[in-house]
Amino acid sequence: MLRHLFTLIWNRKRANFLLITEIFLAFVILFVVGSTLVYSQQNYRTPLGFDYEQVWQVDLDPGMQPRAQRAATQRQVIQRLKSLPGVRFVARSSSNTPFSGNSNRSDLRRTKESGGAYVNGNFYYVEDAMRDVLAPHLIEGRWFDKRDDASTRQPVIITQETREKLFPGESPLGKIIPNGDQEMQVVGVAGTYRASGDLSEPRAAAFLRVSPQDTSFEHLETLLVRVQPGAGAALEKRMTTEILAIGKGWSSNITPLAEQRAAQLKLIVTPLVALVVVCVFLIINVALGLFGVLWQTINQRRTEIGLRRALGASARAISAQIVGEILVVSTFGLALGLLVAAQFPLLGVLGVKTSVYLTAMLLATALIYTLTAVCALYPSWLAAGIHPAVALREE
Amino acid sequence: MLQLTDIEKVYQTKTIETVALNRVNLTINKGEFVSVMGPSGCGKSTLLSIMGLLDEPSGGILELDGRPVKSYSDKELAHLRNQKIGFVFQSYHLINDLSVLDNVELPLLYRAGVGGKERRQRAHAALDKVGLSARTTHFPSQLSGGQRQRVAIARALAGRPEIILADEPTGNLDSVMGEEIMDLLLGLHRHDGTTIVMVTHDEQQAQKTERLIRFFDGSQVA
């Protein structure tokens, strides 16, 4: 029977051309939207790699204060904040803090003697205390500490994505990475660190140590503060007051990272939701179109259905045939769609993992089959109800 | 083989009640070639639909091989139609998008236990019998009226039915082609012993059959 259905649909390919095209286009749309959603969902399920709860970001603006005085004022501010009840840890950071949307990207390249492998990653300048503030997950080696004060090389902690690119199959600990006219030495490996947010892909990154003796202010004007659970507006107000009291003409902006995360998620999820809504409307349109075409087809094929009944098809067999036919039509459309979709993983388009495309293909295929089968149910029921004696007398 | 006892068929609408068959009593014996004649609207086709299990009588008993068919389910009726009955229609009712061979295979598609190879063999054999073995890959639109009716007969034969019900099989054909089809049916009857019930308007063709039944206003008159 399956061969018969394929023969029938193939011989009616001209009549089914528009239907096949519609299913092909619906599949492509579902594949694109599906890939986006699967990609986002996979990223969302990946751990961020740090603890953002009870962490506040303090952006400092020194106003018109002379540059030479800024670092000293900042140190006073830090000391004062550390002494406040409710504040647990304070650390300076470059401005590419979690959920900020900022980045500081650069190439990490091994020496030519070591193969010259390189990766473009985000550089996070952090103090030793960042371990206590954000609690990044360390999987090998150690976090920065006083031992690094005496180091003649820039201590660096790379993430596991950086490690996979630069040091495949070997331990990176103690290895040297050139950095302009200086050298960096790997002291630890951190797990995935996705400061770019919940829906961002795990990418290569490196933490570079800011020594306590470092007196530069530029690029380190952001503080990350871990507060006690339950700390709220009162502490925020107190911190602002203290900062303004120490830094004359300074201003500050304090934002909990949890709030920044929610705002960023809203910003990213809104267009995704819009995309899904548009997609749903398109699919409803396709479904209505399919339903209408099938309904009309049944009316045009009453004699054929009557004949099949006369030749021994039961009502159920007729119903199954109508559903089977639309599934075969779908298979033709899907075959074309899968041919196009397969180019994405084969050509490595957008650098997205193959599993994302494969999952999206599976989902889109299942959805199209389900949709077409559901659309065929009522017309197939109508077809099954056609009275053979009446249908054979029509024409 | 087929026994009709007090068969009635009434078509009812909100305002009109039309009696298509009125207490018809008829027996079709195995191996008979029976023709049914009568003016248009006298109930001939309705009779054939009922005998072919395509329609239910409003009253009376229809027995097939000594068993009343009223109690059969839709699935069982479909099975009986497939196994025991072959249909030939005035307007052929071939599926235009299927080749001649695929059209002839059609009844075997609904028969469990018949594989693709056997289907092909039986369809080829049936087409051979009607002299169309050279046209298997043609489509109905590429055939003449007479050839199309031959395909329809081959389709009826492919299922090896016990009875063929032919509803004005020569009605759409010119006299020459009509004769050809009639000769084919007579040959099937004589050589293979096929039971045939044929509705016709053609007195000459009807006279060639073993028994002629006349209908008028839903009743058997001769």
Q: What is the pLDDT of residues A219-278, one digit of tens each?
A: 788 999 999 998 888 999 999 999 998 988 888 999 999 999 999 999 999 999 999 999
Which residues in chain A are closer than 8 Å to B102, comparing Cβ atoms? 4, 7
Which residues 6+ apart lie within 8 Å of B149 measured at CB? B88, B92, B169, B170, B172, B173, B177, B181
Q: pTM for the complete prediction?
A: 0.78
Search chain B and give the residue with CA nearest A318. Answer: B110
The ipTM assigned to this model is 0.90
How far is residue A162's CA from residue A172's CA, in Å, rounded to a whole number? Answer: 10
What is the pLDDT of chain B when averaged over all its residues? 89
CA A115/CA A245 separation, integer angstroms: 54
Domains defined for chain B, CATH in brackets: 31-38+69-214 (3.40.50.300)
Segment A164-211, tens digit of pLDDT: 998 998 899 998 888 888 889 999 999 999 998 999 888 999 999 988
Q: Is A64 on the interface with B (CB under 8 A)?
A: no
Q: What is the pLDDT of residue A63?
A: 85
- Name chain B contacts of A389, Cβ cutoff 8 Å: 46, 49, 54-55
Task: Measure CB to CB from residue A1 to each of B79, B109, B155 and give the nearest one.
Answer: B109
Burial status of residue B185 (CB atoms within 10 A of its CB: 0-12, 13-18, 19 or more): buried
User: Which residues in chain B have their CB less than 8 angstroms from residue A7's CB?
Assistant: 98, 102
Burial of A55-75, coded b for 16+ CB within 10 Å and e otherwise, reads bbbbebebeeeeeeebbebbe
Contact by Cβ (8 Å): A118, A107: yes
Nearest by Cα to B149 from B81, B87, B91, B86:
B91
- What would the two tokens of residue A300 be? 């045009």
Smallest CA–CA separation between B42 and chain A, in Å?
15
Lookup: tokens for A72: 């000293």
CB contact under 8 A, A392 and B74: no
Q: What is the mean pLDDT of residues A70-87?
A: 90
**Contact check, Cβ <8 Å, A312/B83:** yes
Domain definitions of chain A by residue range:
2-46+264-393, 63-249
| Predicted local distance difference test score (pLDDT) of residue B219 | 84
Chain position carrying tokens 């007195």 = B203
Q: Are B74 and A388 inside 8 Å of each other by CB? A: no
Q: What is the DSSP code string of B92-122? A: ----TTS-HHHHHHHHHHTSTT--HHHHHHH
- Provide, as residue numbers in chain B, all residues whose Cβ is less than 8 Å from the Cβ of A316: 74-75
